[in-house]
Amino acid sequence: QVQLQESGPGLLKPSETLSLTCTVSGDIVDGGTYYWSWIRLPPGKGLEYIGYILYTGITNNNTNYNPSLKSRVTFSVDTSKNQFSLKLTSVTAADTAVYYCARVVRVSGAAHYYFYMDVWGKGTTVTVSS
């Protein structure tokens, strides 16, 4: 059974860098079959896709980021720990949210691929406050 567990600091100050890690059990992050993603849920709002990463090698991973966050976000994979991570720079109160990691399935369609998240972690709460 695949399980994902988020971890990281719960409280940051504005302008700091948020670093979160997702530990995967029951699957391997460098298997090349699944993508790995981050999604967040701000208080009182809906889910927001942050991005995904597919591990393809030490220096050449396939990533996709939400355009609204692209300038501040970076994903990485640590195959030795079977983890993938998120870094979000220059945080503000607007980055306060529950952050989820999730496994992404890629399905081949007639003309293109389809992607969706099939297994999620329980989430970790991040608060940005001075």
Size of the site for another protein (CB under 8 A): 26
* Distance (Å, whole) CA 61 – CA 63: 6
How far, CA to CA in Å, does 40 sit from each of 10, 101, 118?
A: 14, 9, 16
> Minimum CB separation from another protein for residue 13, in Å?
26
Can you give the length of the chain in residues? Answer: 130
For another protein, the binding residue among 19, 21, 61, 66 (CB under 8 A) is 66
The residue from 117, 124, 126, 128 that contacts another protein (CB under 8 A) is 117
Q: Which amino acid is at 111?
A: A
Report the interface residues with another protein, using CB under 8 A. 4, 39, 45-49, 52, 64, 66-67, 100, 102, 107, 112-123
